[in-house]
Structure formats: C-alpha cells, structure tokens
Structure 1
Amino acid sequence: MKRTANAHWAGNLKEGKGNLSTQSGILNQTNYSFKTRFTGEETGTNPEELLAAAHAGCFTMAVSAILTEKGLSATALDTEATVSMEGLSITAVHLNITGSVSGITAEVFEAITKGAEQNCLISKVLNIPISSEAHFIA
C-alpha cells in the first residue's frame, strides 16, 4: 500500500503561498503558507498541524486495536496531539487521550495507551520524545 499527497508552492518563503492535496481528496488544494505556519495571520494548515492530526489518528486507532485484541470495544476515544517546536525543530509530541471503555479499569486503560504510544506507526517513525496522558471515563 502507498499513500500520496501533493504540495504546490509559488513565490518566496514569507509572501508565497501553496496548497496541499491528498490522494483521498479530503485535502483538496488546502491553503498553507508562512503565515499559516508561523504567524496564524491566515486561515490554512501547516505541516506540524498535519503531523499532529496524523499522530492523533494513528495513536487512537492503535488504542482501539489493543482493546479489540482484548475483546473490548470503546464507547469513545478522543485524542489531542500537541506537537512542540523550538526554533525550526520539532522536539516532542504529547498525546492526551480520554476514553470510555466498559469492562476495564483506569489502570488497564493507561497501560493500553502506553503500549499504543510506543507502537503506533507514526510514533515508530518519529525520532523525538513522545509522551501520553490517559483520562479514563468509567
């Protein structure tokens, strides 16, 4: 399996603009620019936001996969991924998950999320510190 995305850019770094499109079409010429990335003066996305979305999705699916292996199913799993930057370096990702799962304890849920933290596909390709915090709703 291969997945693709395309980026287009025109102009210089600070005043130029670009757009991103994905194979699925969910992103279709979505705006990105220096301003969407570093100043927030325009509406659009940026690579770090897309990395956060990818990591949140991957991690949440990994938690669901571990639950499925245990014969469990979540009522709800909600994850926020925070990508930290210092200068022009991505330095860390923190995953904050809230979950509601019948038949387990908060301690079991936290252990499951720690396993997913290290083993989701996005976590495996990043060479930065990754942390997680689990909030269990009984």
Structure 2
Amino acid sequence: MPRIVREAALTWEGNVARGAGTITAASSGAYDALPYTLASRISTPEGKTSPEELLASAHGACFTMSLASELATAGTPPERLDIRCVVTMDEVQGKGHQIVHSQIDAHGTVPGCDEAGFAQAAEAADAGCPFSALIRASATVGVTASLT
C-alpha cells in the first residue's frame, strides 16, 4: 500500500467556552465546515460534531474496511456490514482528560460464514486496523461481532 497523507483544515473563533470552529476535509472535499464547539464536545451535540465523534468515525471506518478485507480473503465477502464505534474520553488521574476506550460492535450479513468465522475475521480485522493500533497505544479497544 502506498504512503497515505490526508489533510483537514480547521478554524476557531473566540475563547474555548463560547467560541466555535469548523472542520473541512481539505484533501477530498467530502465535508465542508462541520461545526464544533466545547458544548458539542462535553454536552448535547445540537447538530455539531466533536473530536471524539470524528475519531469514532475514523476508527469505525478503518475497522470496517479491514473486516471486509478479512472476510473476502477467507472466501466469504460480506453482503453488508453494520458497525458502531463508541469512543470514550474520561478523566485520568494525573493526566487530565484522555481517550480511554474505543468499542466496536460489528454486525454482518455474510453468506457462507458462520459465527466462529465472523468472530475470527473481526479479531484479525482489529489486529490489522491501524486506528486500533493507534488507540491501543494509550487506551483499550473492545470488539464484539455477530452475524445478522
């Protein structure tokens, strides 16, 4: 696989408590000016995103592609994968707020695959997912997998 470089452009106006910012996919243009605020990070999102939500999206997307690859390599390409990723940030004594866990719940429609094979593919997908490795450097990752 070639070296991959992607870019996001961010703006912020105001102080942290009352300010607001936007996030744009500078490399692809896939999204433009996603709003984010401190309130969207620690309280009700109200249609705005947060770094933790974006991390959950990135981890979930990476895992999903890794799982699709593992299943195809095993001769059972998925018909559909439904993945939910939940990232948790919490106060860690002496370190402040830290990402402490990322939980992936994978459900799949995979013709020709049994529960054991799906669980094995999910385990291999987690091991091969660069975002799982990144998160494991300072937090934990959990994965559950079941066929639908």
TM-score range, shorter chain: over 0.9
Q: CA deviation at 1:13?
A: 0.5
Instruction: Please tell me the root mean square deviation across aligned C-alpha atoms, in Å.
Output: 1.2
* TM-score of the aligned structures, taking structure 1 as reference length: 0.94
How do residues 28-47 of structure 1 correspond to structure 2 at under 5 angstroms? 28-40=32-44, 42-47=46-51
Once the two structures are TM-superposed, the CA of residue 6 in structure 1 deviates from its matched residue by: 1.0
1:26 aligns with 2:30: yes
Instruction: Tell me, yes or no, if structure 1 residue 73 matches structure 2 residue 77.
Output: yes
Report how many aligned residue pairs link the two structures.
137
> Equivalents in 1 of 2:146, 2:118: separation in Å?
8
2:106 to 97, 109, 113: 97
- Structure 2's unaligned 5+ residue stretches are 92-96
Paired amino acid for 1:37: R
- Determine the structure 1 residue equivalent to 2:117: 108
Task: Kindly indicate whether residue 19 of structure 2 is the aligned counterpart of residue 16 of structure 1.
Answer: yes
TM-score scaled by length of structure 2: 0.88
- Separation in 2, partners of 1:3, 1:89: 24
2:6 is equivalent to residue 3 of structure 1: yes
Identity, % of aligned positions? 29
Displacement over 4 Å in runs of 4+:
none
Q: Mind listing any 5+ residue stretches in structure 1 that lack a counterpart?
A: none
